[in-house]
Each structure stands twice: as C-alpha cells, then as structure tokens.
C-alpha cells in the first residue's frame, strides 16, 4: 500500500449509543440558536502570566469575577450542555480590564500559536496582525498530531514556548487536555459580545467539543464532503454513491488522508463507522488507497487524476486551487447523503497553560472569537462560522435547518468512533 506517514489509536463503540438521546440533543443545539450570556474576565495584566493546569484550576476556589485564568475555578466534569444553562454576568469593568490586557499584550510584543496547515489560515492571521501590529505572531502550521508529539516532550523538559492551539478537536481533547496542557478558555474572554448566546448557533457553550465544556472550542459551523472526485476522470454515470467505493474496480484510484492518527482521515472513518458500520470501513481500507499526511499532495493527486478519488480530502486546500481556476471539476461525491457529508468541528481554539505571552494570548482569543475575527475567518477560509452575525460561507456549507444530520464525530463524546476508525486503520494499513 502506498503511504507517506502514520500515528494514534483506541477502542470500539456502538452506533446506537451515539444516535440516541443526548447526542440528538447536541445536534439540536448545533442547529438552533438561543439567548443570553456574557463574559468572565481573564486578566489583570500580570495575573495571567502563567496558566495553571486543569487539575490545578479545579482545586482552586473561585476568585471572583476578575479572577485571572490561572486561578479561576473550573467545575470538574461539567458538560457543555450543563454550562449552556449557566448565565455569566458581564464584568462591570470589562472595558478597563480589556484596555489593560491590550496594553500588556503590546508590551509582551509576541505570540506563538500552532495553526492548522493551509495558506488560507495564514490569510486569516494577517487580519489579526493588521489589528494588533505590535504583537509579532509566530504561527507554525503543524497538524494536530505532530503538534502534540512536539509540545508534550518540550513541556516535560521544562520548555513552555506555546500560547494557543488552532486545529482539530481530537488532538485537543485526546492529546493536549489529558496531558494537562490546557487552561479553561472562558476566564480569558473579556469581550461581552463573545459570551452572548444570541450570537452563536446553539448558544456560546455549544461550541465546546470537550466533555467538560471548558477547554477546546470549535468556531467552524459547516458541513463538509467526505469524498472528492475528479469528474473529468470519473463521470457521475460511473460512480455516484459512497457505498460503491468498495467495488474492486476503484482499487488504485483512491487516496486517503492517513486515518491511523488524529485528523480528517480518522474523523471521516469514524463518521462512516457511525453511518455504515466497522465492516464497511474495513472493506474500504482493503481497497488499499494511497495514504498521505500531506493535504496539498492529496488534492494535487485528485486534480491531476493520479488518484481521482480523495477520501477525507481537505475542504480548505481545494479552494486554493479552484480560486486559481484549477480543479474546477473536482466535486463532492454523494454530498446529499449521510455517507457523503459530515458536520465538521475541525477549527478549534484552545489556550495552552504556562504560556509565555498570557496577555497577547488573551487578546488573540478574544479577537478570534469576536465578530471581526469570525468575519475574517469566513472571508479567508470560505467556511461558515458558528457566529450568527457574520457573513455565511459558501451556500452548501452551513447546516440546513430542515436536514437531519448525523452527530459530529469531532465532539469528544463521539470520539470512540474515531478511535475505532484509527485502530482498524492501524491493523490494515502497514
């Protein structure tokens, strides 16, 4: 089997469990907006100098509305849906706190984040630099699993070089959070507009993908294809259903983003296990698709027709080519079906604790979740945001209220599907 890299694992779950009760309610939260809410402040300028670990935060008593991120109390095991019912009053002096934090951030003058790969993410970050030119942004673009593999040994060696993470939920909830590398996000949010439930699909707290509803926050609010196909090479009359990809005649014509570790490959595989079962996923992998960890390479393959079917192809890299007039006939396969689409939560924001630039990090996460930051996100990435007061992404990307979607496998509550997909891929892909 063709391959360019590998990683990750875990155990099996039941399809029925994810489709029932609580997850149906979670889907309802994603598609229904509700009202109220505001922000708990993050800083006195020096107070956020080092974020405490989640366990330390949980053992510290609440220090009041103006408590720094390092000492704010965090309820253990509170679900996002539970937190959604809790209303936090805005700080009366939020403007003064914000001004103080911005001034301190400009003094720090630097910010280091890990950023999802892709040129369009850099376009998004340019708007932050325009808004805060005094803060020099360093944003290496490591995929989530590689970032986890880098930062955890650094922290064990006493090196704390990172301020924030923007990437897939699985690396946040399954890698950074269990290692105690994250701070709760909400104490850093000073701008009242951010915690205003009426500004977000399902309310603000519905964006958390971790079970506690505190650490890993999704801003993406769209539906993405699971498969892209080059219609210049394979017309719809030959292939129109995802389920038919297990036909032996498609062997040698498919690529897949490596599903052995965290990322779109494992998430797509988890979605298919939820929808069709693990046996179908095994059958598909036994077709021996070419495996890559390079998102751009996979999209180039499908555009050139080398592998005209891209399983878990990047919905952010393809537009880069199509905006230049290349790959215009690369289309989603079966996008109007559960197998051909999935609710995506792959643009997540998390605050690294013991961060070197706490005030700059606070300014950044407030900007990123603000109306201006999310409008910039939509314009740069051409994806829909969970914010309701910014432009929509392309017409096909926002979830449609009349459509019943399967739950998102990016949420930690559904991570067993992704872990299953990864484990099966490790057994088959060598």
Residue 28 pLDDT level (bands cut at 50, 70, 90):
very low
Contact between 312 and 226 (Cβ < 8 Å): yes
Same domain, 364 and 287: no
The average confidence (pLDDT) of the chain is: 83
Task: Identify the pLDDT of residue 360.
Answer: 98
Q: Would the pLDDT of 186 be above 50? A: yes
401 belongs to a structural domain: no
Residue 47 pLDDT level (bands cut at 50, 70, 90):
very low
Q: Would the pLDDT of 82 be above 80? A: no
181 belongs to a structural domain: yes
Residue 16 pLDDT level (bands cut at 50, 70, 90):
very low
Task: Identify the pLDDT of residue 398.
Answer: 86
387 belongs to a structural domain: no
Residue 89 pLDDT level (bands cut at 50, 70, 90):
low
Contact between 208 and 217 (Cβ < 8 Å): yes
More confident residue, 381 or 114: 114
Same domain, 228 and 331: yes
Q: Would the pLDDT of 2 be above 90? A: no
Stretch 165-191: mean pLDDT, rounded?
A: 95
Write the pLDDT tens digit of every residue in 384-395.
999 999 998 887
Which residue carries 């039941």 as its tokens? 14
Find the domain containing 63 and state its range.
36-221+345-381
* Residue 186 to residue 183: CA distance in whole angstroms: 9
31 belongs to a structural domain: no
pTM above 0.85, yes or no: no
More confident residue, 119 or 15: 119
Q: Would the pLDDT of 32 be above 60? A: no
Write the pLDDT tens digit of every residue in 397-417.
888 878 889 999 999 999 999
High-pLDDT (> 90) share of the chain, %: 69
186 belongs to a structural domain: yes
Mean pLDDT is highest, among 28-42, 54-68, 335-349, for 335-349
Q: Which residues pair with 208 in a beta bridge?
A: 217
* Residue 277 to residue 72: CA distance in whole angstroms: 43
Same domain, 157 and 260: no
Same domain, 309 and 366: no
High-pLDDT (> 70) share of the chain, %: 79
Tokens in use for 27? 């889907």
Q: Would the pLDDT of 9 be above 60? A: no
Same domain, 90 and 204: yes
Q: Would the pLDDT of 90 be above 60? A: yes
Task: Identify the pLDDT of residue 315.
Answer: 87
More confident residue, 320 or 50: 320
Give the domain CATH number at 123: 3.40.190.10
SS3 letters across the chain: CCCCCCCCCCCCCCHHHHHCHHHHHHHHHHHCCCCCCCCCCCCCCCCCCCCCCHHHHHHCCCCCCCCCCCCCCCCCCCCHHHHHCCCCCCCCCHHHHHHHHHHHHHHHCEEEEECCCCHHHHHHHHHHHHHCCCCEEECCCCCHHHHHHHHHHHHHCCCCCCCEEEECHHHHHHHHCCCCCEECCHHHCCCCCCCCHHHECCCHHHHECCCCCCCCEECECEEEECEEEECCCCCCCCCCCHHHHHCHHHCCCEEEECCCCCCHHHHHHHHHHHHHCHHHHHHHHCCCCEEECCHHHHHHHHHHCCCCEEECCCCCCHHHHHCCCCCCCEEECCCCCCCCEEEECCCEEEEECCCCCHHHHHHHHHHHHCHHHHHHHHHHHCCCECECCCCCCCCCCCCCCCCCCCCCCCCHHHHHHHHHHHHHHHHHCC
Same domain, 286 and 359: no
6 belongs to a structural domain: no
Same domain, 301 and 351: no
Same domain, 83 and 189: yes
Same domain, 249 and 329: yes
Task: Identify the pLDDT of residue 200.
Answer: 93
Task: Identify the pLDDT of residue 86.
Answer: 54
299 belongs to a structural domain: yes
Task: Identify the pLDDT of residue 88.
Answer: 61
More confident residue, 76 or 308: 308
More confident residue, 92 or 115: 115
Same domain, 206 and 238: no
119 belongs to a structural domain: yes
Query: How many folded domains does the chain comprise?
Result: 2
Task: Identify the pLDDT of residue 346.
Answer: 85
Same domain, 300 and 359: no
Same domain, 101 and 244: no
Residue 87 pLDDT level (bands cut at 50, 70, 90):
low
Q: Would the pLDDT of 118 be above 90? A: no
Write the pLDDT tens digit of every residue in 191-213.
999 999 999 988 999 999 999 99
């Amino acid at each position: 089997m063709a391959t360019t890299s590998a990683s990750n694992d875990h155990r099996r779950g039941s399809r029925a469990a994810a489709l029932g009760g609580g997850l149906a309610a979670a889907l309802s939260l994603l598609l229904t907006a509700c009202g109220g809410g505001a922000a708990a402040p993050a800083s006195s300028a020096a107070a956020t100098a080092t974020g405490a670990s989640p366990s330390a935060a949980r053992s510290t008593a609440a220090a009041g509305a103006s408590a720094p991120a390092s000492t704010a109390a965090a309820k253990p095991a509170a679900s996002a849906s539970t937190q959604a019912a809790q209303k936090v009053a805005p700080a009366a002096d939020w403007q003064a706190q914000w001004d103080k934090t911005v001034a301190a951030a400009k003094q720090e003058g630097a910010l280091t984040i890990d950023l999802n790969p892709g040129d369009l993410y850099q376009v998004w970050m340019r708007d932050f630099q325009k808004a805060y030119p005094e803060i020099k942004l360093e944003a290496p673009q490591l995929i989530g699993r590689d970032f986890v593999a880098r930062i955890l040994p650094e922290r064990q060696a006493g090196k704390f070089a990172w301020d924030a993470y923007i990437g897939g939920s699985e690396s946040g909830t399954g890698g950074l959070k269990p290692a105690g590398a994250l701070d709760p996000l909400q104490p850093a949010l000073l701008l009242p507009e951010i915690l205003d439930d009426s500004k977000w699909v399902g309310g603000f707290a519905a964006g958390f993908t971790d079970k506690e509803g505190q650490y890993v926050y999704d801003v993406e609010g769209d539906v993405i294809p699971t498969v892209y196909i080059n219609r210049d090479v394979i017309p719809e009359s030959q292939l129109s259903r995802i389920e038919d990809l297990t036909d032996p005649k498609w062997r040698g014509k498919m690529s897949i983003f490596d599903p052995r570790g965290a990322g779109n490959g494992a998430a797509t595989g988890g979605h298919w296990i939820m929808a069709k079962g693990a046996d179908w996923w095994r059958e598909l992998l036994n077709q021996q698709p070419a495996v890559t960890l390079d998102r751009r390479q996979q999209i180039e393959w499908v555009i050139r027709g080398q592998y005209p079917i891209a399983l878990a192809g990047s919905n952010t890299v393809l537009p880069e080519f199509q905006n230049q007039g290349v790959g215009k006939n690369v289309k989603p396969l079966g996008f109007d079906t559960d197998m051909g689409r999935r609710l995506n939560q792959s643009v997540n924001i998390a605050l690294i604790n013991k961060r070197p630039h706490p005030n700059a990090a606070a300014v950044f996460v407030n900007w990123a979740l603000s109306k201006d930051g999310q409008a910039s996100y939509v314009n740069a990435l051409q994806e829909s945001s969970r914010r309701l007061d910014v432009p929509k992404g392309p017409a096909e990307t926002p979830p449609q209220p009349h459509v019943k979607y399967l739950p998102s496998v990016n949420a930690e509550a559904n991570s067993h599907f992704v872990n299953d997909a990864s484990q099966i891929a490790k057994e088959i892909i060598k």
